[in-house]
Amino acid sequence: MLHYMCYCLQVRFERSRTQSTRILFLTEGLLLRQIETDPMLSQYSVLVVDEVHERHIHTDFLLGVIKCILVQRKDLKLVLMSATINIDLFSSYFDNAPVCRVPGRLFPIQLQYLPCDTREISASGKVDRFDPSPYIRVLQAIDHKYPSTERGDVLIFLSGMSDIMAVVEAARAYAQKSNAWIILPLHSALSVAEQDKVFDFPPEGVRKCIVSTNIAETSVTIDGIRFVVDSGKVKEMSFDAAYKMQRLQEFWISRASAEQRKGRAGRTGPGVCYRLYAESDYDSLQEYSTPEIQRVPLDSLILQMISMGLPDARQFPFIEPPPLSTVETSIAFLKDQGALSDGEELTTIGEMLAQLPVDIIIGKMLIMASAFDMIDVVLTIAAALCVQSIYTARAQRDYDASTLRKSLESDHGDPLTLLNAVDEWLVKKAEG
């Protein structure tokens, strides 16, 4: 008799779980929410946490919570999976847990270092703009060396959207001459339909060139990639506790990330990885990426910890603790917002904020809007602030679109500008 294994997916605001479900796929954030009502995770017998090397803030916190749960639940099994995990760190954190190494199945990958300066320097000595020409030279070299009858697409890793658009524009100009390339950007600001284009198969004799952020490093797997072009850079959020500000900055990737990017070239056949930096630069990279918990503010995380009955964030057993200054800054901020009392206990506002899966400031806006009967307006502003940008990529670069955007600008700041934009969109939508 055949036994069918029922598996389901659960994400925020959507679930397909039934009584027959045996395997459940869900995010770390949702699992943490379940721990608030089921502290021992009694409904699960095995937990599998994938891609732990990415070291997201909720992943690190979840591992700390599970470490505490394992002390009381000897029957619970935990499996951590990653292609580039720091084995010694994670194994020692879980009391020298056993390690299972699975041999990789990558095809041979030829590695070429092509050091070049992709940033043009102005006369004043400052970085002027991004230079896409080194990436176009790689496309030209592929055209010259590999016949078009040989299958194999190109994946270019860049740090941000502005660099991506610069390379896409230059690559499309080159592609018009040869008619042998389809150039596709890939980043989080694109619509789902535009992102899905990277999975389409190109016609015979035509290659795809996908110009992407590190979203294609581990989050997305694209079949048919034979060539990888690695800029060696990534943009990450960093937090300055002294000024209480976050900044999106460009950093060098780690050696583990470089190997992850390189591996994308050898999944379906022999590949080539072009690194647009020197081998000495690679040798000087840190071995693993800095965990997110050491780079971002901890306001929402600490509020969640206290709401779960973990009163002292300073003593929590993180696998790699955040700076104490960041913890103290976040606690002081929560007190300023009225979420914590002087004794660092949850207030009424704090209890409400802990139930809202948004940033503290956004949550406070929603609570105050309810009190002052402004919920519709503030909901619109809050929704617009919770996404990366409400504007499309075309609106960022098109002259006519940017002119229209200026007509929506408010003297009272960006939140009301966003409100004007959404209101105008609703008017146009109503007009059909």
List pLDDT tens digits, range 19-78: 777 888 888 888 988 898 899 999 899 999 988 888 889 999 999 999 999 999 999 999
**pLDDT band (50, 70, 90) for residue 156:** very high
d(CA 312, CA 297): 17
Shared-domain flag, residues 157 and 236: yes
| Each residue's pLDDT tens digit, 290-309 | 899 998 889 999 999 999 88
| Coil vs helix vs strand at 320 | coil
| Each residue's pLDDT tens digit, 202-248 | 988 899 999 999 887 777 788 899 999 999 999 887 777 666 677 77
Shared-domain flag, residues 202 and 324: no
Q: Is residue 2 in a domain?
A: no
Query: Above pLDDT 90, what percent of the chain?
Result: 49
Query: Which residues, at least 6 apart from 62, have a Cβ–Cβ distance to it below 8 Å?
Result: 28, 31, 32, 49
Query: Above pLDDT 70, what percent of the chain?
Result: 89
Q: Is residue 140 in a domain?
A: yes
pLDDT the model gives residue 393: 61
Shared-domain flag, residues 165 and 273: yes
Task: Return the structure tokens found at 55.
Answer: 């070291």
Q: Is residue 358 in a domain?
A: yes
CB-based burial label for 91 (10 Å; 0-12, 13-18, 19+): middle
pLDDT the model gives residue 396: 59
Single out the residue in 61, 93, 125 at which a domain terminates: 93
Instruction: Name the one residue in this structure whose structure tokens are 């591992």.
Output: 63
45, HSE (Cβ side, Cα atoms, 13 Å)? 2
Q: Provide the domain limits for residue 46.
A: 7-93
Shared-domain flag, residues 213 and 85: no
**pLDDT band (50, 70, 90) for residue 400:** low
Q: What's 46's domain CATH number?
A: 3.40.50.300
Burial 310-332 (b: 16+ CB within 10 A, else e): beebeebebbebbeeebbebbbe
pLDDT the model gives residue 310: 84
> Nearest-CA neighbor of 142 among 97, 89, 194, 180?
180
Shared-domain flag, residues 307 and 420: yes
Mean pLDDT of 282-289: 93
**pLDDT band (50, 70, 90) for residue 121:** very low
> Nearest-CA neighbor of 55 among 239, 264, 288?
288
Shared-domain flag, residues 209 and 307: no
Task: Return the structure tokens found at 76.
Answer: 């619970």
Please check the confidence at residue 16 and state whether its pLDDT lies above 50: yes
**pLDDT band (50, 70, 90) for residue 126:** very low
Averaged pLDDT score across all residues of the chain: 86
The pTM is what? Answer: 0.79
**pLDDT band (50, 70, 90) for residue 122:** very low
| Each residue's pLDDT tens digit, 375-385 | 999 999 999 88
pLDDT the model gives residue 7: 55
Please check the confidence at residue 169 and state whether its pLDDT lies above 90: yes
pLDDT the model gives residue 424: 87
Shared-domain flag, residues 280 and 395: no
pLDDT the model gives residue 362: 93
pLDDT the model gives residue 398: 63
Overall domain count for the chain: 3
Shared-domain flag, residues 246 and 334: no
pLDDT the model gives residue 119: 60
| Coil vs helix vs strand at 147 | coil
Shared-domain flag, residues 288 and 254: yes
Shared-domain flag, residues 131 and 278: yes
Shared-domain flag, residues 132 and 78: no
Shared-domain flag, residues 156 and 238: yes
Please check the confidence at residue 265 and state whether its pLDDT lies above 80: yes
